[in-house]
């Protein structure tokens, strides 16, 4: 009597082209579905964020042996509640980078988080998607601060940049609108502060923000509201870096 060999269940599935296509589509749809889920859960997440207790501390930038401590404004209009969907060293696209992704609707206004001079901009791109091939297609604004750090605002909407190179901008000033250009799975603001050391190496910097609940270190899945008052950013006296 001949015994028919039966392929293991997992083996027959992985060799099925329909299954492979289905698996590929699931991977492509994962990020947009995640964003849609977060939007639906926004009220619940907001309530959790408001009721939680977070430690208050200030991150700093090492520059020429000194520590300059700065509190930033949230990069959107006063009164807005916005959540962070990817934080420092995030698994999707922030590995080894102190960048933040603020989940915002397309067309929402982006504001400067700190006073500075516009270093460069781009506003002519209409291309974007959740693929690395779009990495050079993002619209952006780069603002240089007085301590030689710079802030990058990425994925802006086509033709929405409101400033130009050489402009001096104040903290809280509108500079553009949210889009999804470049390497982006959906509308959001990618925000990052960085500087170059004496050898030309780039270093990203963790930042803290002034919120309606005090000075906060940003955390993923939390909502933060920018205060309505017009107080300016506080810069704390530099001290020797230890």
Q: What is the largest CA-CA distance in the chain?
A: 88
Residues of the chain with pLDDT under 70: 1-68, 89-97, 230-242
Give the pTM: 0.69
**Separation in Å, CA 215 to CA 105, 168, 180, 193, 221:** 25, 25, 29, 17, 17
Over the stretch 100-133, which tens digit does the pLDDT of each residue have? Answer: 999 999 999 999 999 999 999 999 999 999 888 9
> What CATH number labels 43-240?
2.70.70.10
Domain ranges of the chain: 43-240
């Amino acid at each position: 009597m001949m015994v028919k060999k039966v392929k293991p269940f997992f083996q027959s599935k992985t060799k099925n082209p329909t299954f492979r296509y289905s698996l590929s589509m699931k991977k492509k749809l994962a990020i947009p579905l995640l964003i849609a889920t977060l939007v639906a859960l926004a009220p619940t997440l907001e309530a959790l964020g408001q009721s939680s207790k977070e430690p208050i501390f200030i991150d700093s930038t090492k520059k020429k042996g000194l520590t300059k401590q700065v509190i930033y404004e949230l990069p959107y209009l006063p009164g807005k509640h916005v959540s962070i969907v990817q934080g420092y060293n995030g698994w999707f696209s922030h590995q080894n980078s102190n960048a933040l992704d603020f989940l915002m609707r397309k067309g929402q206004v982006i504001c400067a988080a700190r006073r500075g001079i516009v270093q460069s901009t781009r506003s002519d791109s209409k291309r974007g998607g959740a693929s690395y091939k779009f990495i050079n297609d993002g619209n952006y604004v780069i603002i240089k601060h007085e301590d030689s750090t710079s802030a990058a605002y990425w994925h802006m909407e086509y033709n929405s940049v409101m400033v130009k190179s050489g402009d001096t901008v104040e903290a809280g000033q509108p500079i553009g609108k949210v889009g999804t250009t470049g390497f982006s799975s959906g509308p959001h603001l990618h925000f990052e502060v960085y500087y170059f050391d004496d050898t030309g190496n780039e270093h990203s910097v963790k930042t803290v923000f002034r919120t309606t609940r005090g000075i906060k270190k940003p955390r993923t899945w939390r909502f933060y509201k920018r205060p309505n008052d017009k107080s300016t950013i506080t810069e704390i006296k530099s001290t020797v870096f230890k």
